């Protein structure tokens, strides 16, 4: 039993389980603000991916070029995802509904009028 606990794979597995608990706790409603929770989840996911790649895919002893390729992939993909997330947040906070023109319907539309205006027999496919 002691030999099983001392194995590096067992230790990495325990770290992965602990990391899963951290992401669950941070994403759980109200534990951490949503933006910070997203960053925590993404960073922990990157660390978990690196651990899996190095220890379970046996890249720890691989040539440096392979290791650099896969570790670079983890860093680049995490950066692109978080960068897109932050960009989308910035675009959402800087856009204003006041700058959009307000469109008022010319007349109320009831269900019968809507159905007759979208008659499928008039569609050309």
Residue 87 within a domain: yes
Find the radius of gyration of the CA atoms of the chain: 25
Q: Is residue 124 part of a domain?
A: no
Domain count of the chain? 1
Residue 34 lies in a domain: yes
26 pLDDT band, cuts 50/70/90, is confident
**Rounded to two decimals, what is the model's pTM?**
0.66
State pLDDT tens for residues 77-103.
Answer: 999 999 999 998 887 776 555 555 565
Within-domain flag for 106: no
Residue 70 covered by a domain: yes
Is there a contact between 78 and 45 (Cβ–Cβ < 8 Å)? yes
Domain that holds residue 88: 2-93
CA angle 40, 56, 16 (to 5 degrees): 30
Please check whether residue 110 lies inside any domain of the structure.
Answer: no
């Amino acid at each position: 039993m002691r030999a099983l606990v001392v194995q590096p794979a067992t230790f990495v597995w325990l770290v992965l389980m602990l990391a899963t608990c951290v992401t669950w706790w941070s994403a759980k409603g109200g534990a951490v603000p949503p933006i910070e929770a997203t960053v925590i989840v993404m960073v922990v996911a990157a660390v978990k991916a690196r651990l899996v790649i190095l220890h379970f895919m046996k890249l720890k002893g691989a040539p440096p070029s392979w290791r650099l390729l896969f570790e670079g992939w983890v860093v680049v993909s995490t950066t692109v995802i978080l960068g897109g997330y932050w960009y989308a947040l910035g675009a959402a906070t800087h856009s204003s509904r006041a700058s959009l023109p307000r469109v008022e319907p010319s007349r109320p539309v009831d269900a019968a009028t809507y159905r007759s205006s979208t008659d499928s027999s008039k569609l050309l496919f």
